[in-house]
Amino acid sequence: MPSFGAMIFPTDTTMTPVDLARNVESRGLDSLWFPEHTHIPVSRKTPFPGGGDLPEWYWHAHDPFVALSAAAAVTERIKVGTGICLVIERDPITLAKECASLDVISNGRFILGIGAGWNQEEMENHGADYKNRWKIVREKVLAMKQIWTQDEAEFHGEFVDFDPIWSWPKPVQAGGPPVWMGANSKWVYDRVADYCDGWLPIGGPGSGGIEAMRAAMEKAGRDPDSLTLALFGAPMDEKQLEGRMGQGFTEFVFGLPQTGDPDKTLAVMDRVATLAEKFR
């Protein structure tokens, strides 16, 4: 049975993470997702991929791990996920502990959606190497998996390097929280097959995307059917959803409006809940 969730930038003007989570769960939805930007450089040198001016909620968003912890604390059933976490801007040892802690607090309900991001100046403020961002993301994810699964974890790569360490708590989920990649490029297939458990493209894959992903999984010696296919920015259209399900997508995440009016947010949430009922 497909799963239906909601995504929003939780800010100081939207509904609180607690209210969002309670309403998502009470409506029978399955997940709640929060994105991440630690800040936005005032220079605005890197253009907004969506075109036009960058919406101000990009620099008003709560830290996703704090917000998701609040959401997890007031719910019992829904998954809580980062959509997405900018791994490139975070220390992997600290991030591994944040993820493990949230997984324990939520009793195994956390999903780590990841990406490398698009804002070069934002990354460089964190000391990140933009040119090598995907190589760094890979090493950080692999290092975190060591921390989640090994009592004395160590990792020795080009960008991440540490001798054996102790780090608890360990995640509730075996192997650690599922890692879903939120990207859609010609390189995404091999990256997902290399170190991820799911694929979270915005709006769906391009032509031949599903076939390319299955081929990459097989090339990596992995079962293509073991990969979770999740659609970010899912359309509120029954026929389009049926088509995506035919492609193999099982997780659907719908955007909520960035508004300070709770009634508008809840109205869209109700539409998603009504749509979800048609597939159950």
Distances (CA, A) of 139 to 129, 195, 231: 13, 9, 25
Q: pLDDT value at position 7?
A: 98
Q: pLDDT value at position 204?
A: 83
Mean pLDDT value across residues 104-115: 98
* pLDDT tens sequence across 212-232: 999 999 999 999 999 999 999
* pLDDT tens sequence across 141-165: 999 999 999 999 999 999 999 999 9
Domains within the chain, CATH numbers bracketed: 3-277 (3.20.20.30)
Distances (CA, A) of 114 to 30, 129, 137, 275: 19, 17, 9, 27
Angle (nearest 5°) at CA 124 between 123 and 130 = 70
Residue 70 has pLDDT above 90, yes or no: yes
Q: pLDDT value at position 238?
A: 96
List Cβ neighbours of 137 (8 Å cut-off, separation of 6 or more): 87, 88, 114, 115, 116
Mean pLDDT value across residues 80-94: 98
How far, in Å, CA of 20 to CA of 5, rounded?
12
Q: pLDDT value at position 207?
A: 74
Residue 176 has pLDDT above 90, yes or no: yes
